[in-house]
Amino acid sequence: NAGVTQTPKFQVLKTGQSMTLQCAQDMNHEYMSWYRQDPGMGLRLIHYSVGAGITDQGEVPNGYNVSRSTTEDFPLRLLSAAPSQTSVYFCASSKGRLDEQFFGPGTRLTVL
Amino acid sequence: KQEVTQIPAALSVPEGENLVLNCSFTDSAIYNLQWFRQDPGKGLTSLLLIQSSQREQTSGRLNASLDKSSGRSTLYIAASQPGDSATYLCAVRGEGGFQKLVFGTGTRLLVSP
């Protein structure tokens, strides 16, 4: 099993550009989520999904969109990048929402 | 609002020492607590998951305890090794409502040879 994979590892954007961060898992997990990690603030939940076709907002959803068309994939879209979105983004999955969380290696995003 | 605190923020020990990392949370109504390890520039690796009904969990040289009523968890690392150097994060999941995972900001551990 590859576990949770994320691409790209690094990305630099200019303000106003859009992009999609990819996340995939091969463990047949129903629950997937996106977090951002900023110095001194811990990890904060952006969006989550409890299964294919079902998504919902976390605590910091503004500026991000998600969709879940398959069990395996959960992409995160930045609609119009802002410097405040400079962060490290982690995707996580678990069998159910309350179960042990498994994290991907992260995407380091810089918005200039 | 649940708040998770980890003290100390950084810890440096010589190889071979037994050590304890602390995690405290303000709302004792939790469903479970998970300890993670994060190496520099890497993702989070799950170490132990403790359900609210459990008092402790063990994996190899790691032992995590949970005192739900006092809002505390500890991660005990026996016979520390340089390979244990990393940032250790705890996260709690609340019982009610959204049941989101709330993370502490971590303890950065350095084990020197």
pLDDT in tens, A2-19: 899 999 999 999 999 999
CB-nearest partner of A42 from B34, B41, B105: B105
**Average pLDDT for A19-34:** 96
Report chain A residues whose CB lies below 8 A from the CB of B41. Answer: 106, 108
Q: What is the mean pLDDT of chain A?
A: 94
Could you give the CA distance from residue A36 to residue A61 in angstroms, rounded to a whole number?
10
Residue of B nearest to A48 (CA): B100
Look up tokens 């109504």; give the residue.
Answer: B29
Q: Across the interface, do A43 and B103 touch by the CB < 8 Å criterion?
A: yes
The percent of residues in chain A predicted with pLDDT above 90, rounded, is 89
Q: Which residue would you say has higher pLDDT here, B95 or A83?
A: A83
Over residues B13-26, the mean pLDDT reads: 96
Which amino acid does the sequence have at B3?
E
- Nearest residue to B14 (alpha-carbon basis) of B88, B84, B80: B80
The band of B1, judged by pLDDT with boundaries at 50, 70 and 90, is confident
Looking at residue A97, its pLDDT comes to 79
Give the separation between CA B56 and CA A19, rounded to whole angstroms: 43
The whole-chain average pLDDT of chain B stands at 93
- Position B41 scores a pLDDT of 86
Q: pLDDT-derived band of residue A103, with 50, 70 and 90 as boundaries?
A: very high
Which residue among A45, A98, A106 places its CB closest to the CB of B43?
A: A106
Could you tell me the two tokens for A23? 């996340």
pLDDT digits (tens, 9 = 90+) for B86-108: 999 999 998 765 578 899 999 99
Please report the pLDDT score of residue B77 as a whole number: 97
- Compute the radius of gyration of chain A from its Cα atoms: 13
Q: What is the mean pLDDT of residues B1-22?
A: 94
pLDDT for the residue B98 = 59
pLDDT in tens, B34-65: 999 999 988 999 999 999 999 999 999 999 99
